[in-house]
Structure formats: structure tokens, C-alpha cells
Amino acid sequence: MPSPYRALFAAPGSKGFSAAGFLGRMPLSMMGIGVVTMISQLTGRYGLAGALSATMALAAAVLGPQVSRLVDRHGQRRVLRPVTLFALVAAAGLLCAARFEWPDWVLFVCAAGIGCVPSVGAMVRARWAALYGGTPQLHTAYSFESVVDEVCFIFGPIISIGLSTVWFPEAGPLLAACFLAAGVFWLTSQRATEPVPHPREHHAGGSALRSAGLQVLVATFVATGAIFGAVDVVTVAFAEEQGHKGAASVVLALYAAGSCVAGAVFGLLHFKGAPERRWLLGICAMAVSMIPLLLVGNLPFLAVALFLAGLSIAPTMITTMSLIEQHVPRAKLTEGMTWVSTGLAVGVALGSSVSGWVIDAAGAKAGYGVPAVSGAVAVAVGFLGYRRLNRPVPQRGGSHEHHSEREERHVA
């Protein structure tokens, strides 16, 4: 491992919470596709499977920021454990309802309950911010977490689909639930690195989304999420048209691999100047990388194009996390990070739906127009909101104060 990453884990407890965060994030890439695979196998109703997956995504978009807001106010351990137990009960209900052919409304209620799964990635990044806030190491930490995200999205769907098709239909979602339980309870058992809650500061300022800069980031990432959702759906359809539907998973894995490689390299670099410019450049690069997809004629060309397109994802995400720190008070950092994830989730749902309509009407190749248009929208929003990103909010509870508060708590 390169020396900046090795030095990152010199901090006591960093290896433990990072490993727990990896386990807790696996369900993000496993649960939705696992439910689709399970329902389609048990009932043959792809429409129902897609509707349940969308219900989980939309519920997560609504409930996720609220859960993170409670975490900022009351602490990770006090909030995450009961919320996770509720999500696990809902997941168990969904598996039973599917297996024993209960009414559809039970499936939808349980799917909505799964939506309260906490944003484990935001929880881990908040711990890194507590350790390295205001230092160059935080850039490396965010880069490492971006690589972990991509690793989850490379292997999670493969594991989930493989288990559900080879073993038994419920195996994928069941393993995702096990990962969630193990990751969250392991993470929350590590009290020494848990960020100190800020009940008074959080209550006084209202929602983190009141920040003008965060509004720009979230709006831009709705369009960015539409790119991701559309690329996934259109790639599967294009592979099917080419007579190699199974190759879609490999092609999409290369898309994530490109981001993974870029994130690892990006973490080794140290930049000077305003991060806002790097962020806008990243958004533009993501948009431009969608143009070659309009020219695809075969799967090898598509694989190369998507790998190159993936190179712009992780650096943009890493810079976004740095900007959130500038535009959201520390007392609301976890909520702010979760709002960006929520914007992505909403965009993925929109991109998946719109691209599906385009594919039905004009074919898979035409479907790549959806991520191209989404990229153009992201660039437009980024340029229109650029001035707001140059007005960061004053930070309350900086890194030195944060460390002293943690030390006082543990001494007490």
C-alpha cells in the first residue's frame, strides 16, 4: 500500500471502523438487485420486482437524511442500532412475504421499512473527519473511502445475484442483511472514534440543506445519479441486443473499476487552489465522457468507453466530500454527506426510469442519449451554482475543539 494510505491507518481505531464500514456498505450494492433477483425468481413478475426496488430507493432518499440528522444530534451508537434493527425486521418481513406469497402490500410496506438503512459511508467519513479534519490526510481518507465504495459496487451485485440464482432466491438479500447487522454493530461498538454529537448546535440551525452550497451539490448530483442509473439499465439492454446479456455485469464492473483506479491515484496527489474549480472540472469530465457512448457499436468498444468514463467519478466524489466540509457546519456533517447520497439515489431512480422508456421506444443504443443529456444538465447546474460554492459557511466546532471534546468525554 502506498505510504500516504499506510500513514492514514496509523491513527488508533482507524483500521477497525474502516473494516466495519466496508461490511456495512455492502448491502448498498446488494439489497436492491438481490430483491429484484429474488422476486423475479419466485414470482416471475419483473414489474413487481422493479417497483419494490424503487420503493426501497425512494424510502432511503426520504428517511436517510433524517436518520443522519439524528446521528449528528445524538451520536452514532444511540441512533444506528435501533434504526438498523428496524431495517433488519423489515428485511426479514420482505423475505417471508415473498417466500410465503403474502399480499403485495406487505411487500411494499417492508420494502419501505428497509429504506431507513443508515448511510454507513457517511458515518465512516464523519469518523475520518473527526480524526483528520483540517489536514491533508483527510483528502487521502476520502479517496480511500471512494475506492471502498467502488469495490462494493464491483463485487456486491455479483455476490448477490450469484447466491440468489445458484443457492436459493432469498440468499442474496439475506446475506446483505447479515452484512448490515455485522457492519453497523461492529462500527457502533467502537466508541473511541465516534464523533461527538452536537445536539444544541444542530437544533439551532435547522436542516443542513439550508446551505446554499449544499443545495448546489445535491441538485448537481441528482443529474449525476441519472447518469449512473441510465448507464446501468442501457448497458444491460445493449448487451442483450448484442446477444451477450451476461457480459453486462463485466462491462459495468469495468465502469466501477475505472473509478476505483482513479480514486486510488487521486488520493496520492495533493492539490493547491480552490476545490470548487476541480469539482466543476470533474462534472464537465463526467459529462464529456458520456459522448462516446452515443457511438458504441459493440461490447468491447463499450467496455473501453465505460472504463475511461469511470476515471472521472471518484475524483469528483472525493472533491464533493471536501466541499461539504466547507459548506456544512461540523455539527451537521453526517447529514450533509447523506443529502448528497440522497440526491444520487433520486437521480438513479429517474435515470433508470427514463432510460427504460427510451429503450422501449427507440432501442438500447438510443438509450445512451439519457446519460448524455443528464451530464449536460449536471454541467449547467454546476455552472449556475458555482458562485454559491465560493461562499463557504463559518465552521463551528473545528478539529481541535472536536478532539478535545472527545478526550473530555472518554476521561469522564
CB 293 within 8 A of CB 368: yes
Which is nearest to 7 in space by CA: 315, 275, 268, 323? Answer: 268
pLDDT tens-place string over residues 65-103: 888 888 888 888 889 999 999 999 999 999 999 888 899
Q: Where are the alpha helices (DSSP H) in 133-211?
A: 137-166, 171-188, 199-205
Which is nearest to 28 in space by CA: 142, 159, 222, 130? Answer: 159
Beta-carbon count within 10 A of 5 CB: 16
* Domain range summary for the chain, segments of one domain joined by +: 17-198, 203-396
Exposure class string for 16-43: b at 16+ Cβ within 10 A, else e: bbbebbbbbbbbbbbbbbbbbbbbbebb
Q: How far apart are CA 297 and CA 160, in angstroms?
A: 30
pLDDT tens-place string over residues 35-55: 877 887 788 776 677 678 778
Residue 400 has pLDDT above 50, yes or no: no
pLDDT tens-place string over residues 152-200: 877 777 787 778 878 888 888 899 999 999 999 999 999 888 888 876 6
Q: How far apart are CA 288 and CA 157, in angstroms?
A: 27
DSSP string of 201-216? HHHHH--GGG-HHHHH
HSE value, Cβ hemisphere, 13 Å, CA-based, for 35 = 32
Q: How far apart are CA 321 and CA 329, in angstroms?
A: 13
Mean pLDDT across 209-224: 84
Number of separate helices (H) and strands (E) present in the chain? 19, 0
Same fold yes or no, 17-198 and 203-396 = yes
Residue 110 has pLDDT above 90, yes or no: yes
> Is the backbone of residue 45 left (phi > 0), alpha (psi -120 to 50) or beta?
beta
Q: CATH topology for 17-198?
A: Growth Hormone; Chain: A; (1.20.1250)
Residue 376 has pLDDT above 70, yes or no: yes
Class at the top of the CATH hierarchy for domain 203-396: mainly alpha
147 contact partners, CB below 8 Å, separation of at least 6: 260, 263, 264, 267, 314
Residue 404 has pLDDT above 50, yes or no: no
The model's confidence at residue 392, banded by pLDDT at 50, 70 and 90, is low
The radius of gyration of the chain's CA atoms, rounded to the nearest angstrom, is 21
Lowest mean pLDDT among 9-18, 150-159, 239-248, 385-394: 385-394
Q: How far is CA 394 from the centre of its chain?
A: 27
Which is nearest to 68 in space by CA: 328, 337, 323, 319? Answer: 337
pTM of the model: 0.74
Q: How far apart are CA 124 and CA 140, in angstroms?
A: 14
HSE value, Cβ hemisphere, 13 Å, CA-based, for 87 = 31
Residue whose entry in the numeric block shows the C-alpha cell 402490500 = 105
Q: Quick one: pLDDT at residue 407? A: 35
pLDDT tens-place string over residues 304-351: 999 999 999 888 988 888 788 777 777 777 778 788 878 887 887 788
Mean pLDDT across 222-234: 85
Q: Quick one: pLDDT at residue 408? A: 35
